Chains A and B, each alone.
Chain A
């Protein structure tokens, strides 16, 4: 089923211009999630070495965790290309995709390619582990949680580097600016492949939810997270 989303560039070029154009691929919640996640990671990283910024660090970290939980939810009920079932594939498909990159006709996916999918799974898993161990360390459940937290984040940074590298390589090979797509949500493609709704309401609800979470956290209403 997932194979349907893989259009080789040969196939696309054969289509007439009438069905080819600018299509919406990434819905609003997915894009808000992505860039909020980047922001939280950068804030948490930059504030990690000082006690002065400790509240910023844990706030960014917990928000990072909330965003990941939302992404798990959205990966099940979200729009077509946001769903895990659309992009998570086995090692065989992943290897097939990677080897196609070395040929003159790299396989093209409208949504995430199978290699990128593994980076996404890795970042979600490691991200959740980083938040859990960070929370345990901050709650004084043992020094080794702090060590583990740093170790996990080191691996997470490695996967983020692979993710960014993959995005750049893929952007060049497929001649599409994937970074910009994650901003405006659109790509060039077959009109039939577009998602129908940008899901503005879910996007607004996500922002409201994050706002409520931040308010509760910073007004000491969640003492188990931040006393």
Chain B
């Protein structure tokens, strides 16, 4: 047994398949945010849960190797900066902060509603990264060290 961390082989095998399905479902929720219930926050939470699923099944060390934590941190900062830049584009093209400056399209179509799907994608990435990183940081604290008052 070289792989002591994580859960049993059954859980690992199921996770290996299901994590991609969960990620796909998360992206579906994000991209259809302007048509159906859900959107950036809900889809982002689902994506973060997919990563957490891997972390629970395979253990912390494997997840850190599998995902590049520094890249996730950069994605988080970049996505929220992009949100502000989109808002500022709204000032220059639409006349007000966060204004919807793209064409509205047809109702009930996937590519419609102007900037709202773009904002959904940005928020989805931000929420997914933030939520996963929060749990990762909490799991990373060693509660036996740092006892000095």
Physical interaction between A and B: no
